[in-house]
Structure 1
Amino acid sequence: MASPGKKSYPLRIDPALWEQLQRLAANDLRSVNAEIEFLLREALARRGIRVASAREEGGQGDPP
């Protein structure tokens, strides 16, 4: 189940690509989901688009 404030989206992905994502995630000590999110943010940043995380926007998990 998705965390509060996170959008859930079913993703169909090529098995070979999934295997590479699993390897990359393991090397980076992340879940595959977190790795995909990281890679998407990285790709957007290369295009000059910065997306603030929920934490940066004062979302859940921030101390009072």
Structure 2
Amino acid sequence: MTSERKQLVLRIDPAVHDALARWAGDELRSVNAQIEMVLRRALKDAGRMPEAVAPIPKRGRPANEKGR
């Protein structure tokens, strides 16, 4: 099942972007993935996470089936 991803323009303070970029780098994520993770956490903490929300798509190389 493929869900369509929404795109948006986000204007934020450069210092906030720099902090997000450092945090994302520490967790081996892109800034975009870090923003989505933070937003999802905030929605969950506020009790506003929709039940039908799809999981964050896996990125990167596919898993090696032979365990090499």
Q: Normalising TM by the smaller chain, what interval?
A: 0.7 to 0.9
Give the match for residue 48 of structure 1. 47
* Consecutive unaligned residues in structure 2, runs of 5 or more: 57-68
Shift of 1:50: 2.5
Runs of 4+ aligned structure 1 residues displaced above 4 Å come to none
Q: Give me the CA root mean square deviation.
A: 1.7
* Consecutive unaligned residues in structure 1, runs of 5 or more: 56-64
- Structure 1-normalised TM-score? 0.72
- Structure 2-normalised TM-score? 0.68
Higher relative contact order (CA 8 A, sep 6+): 1
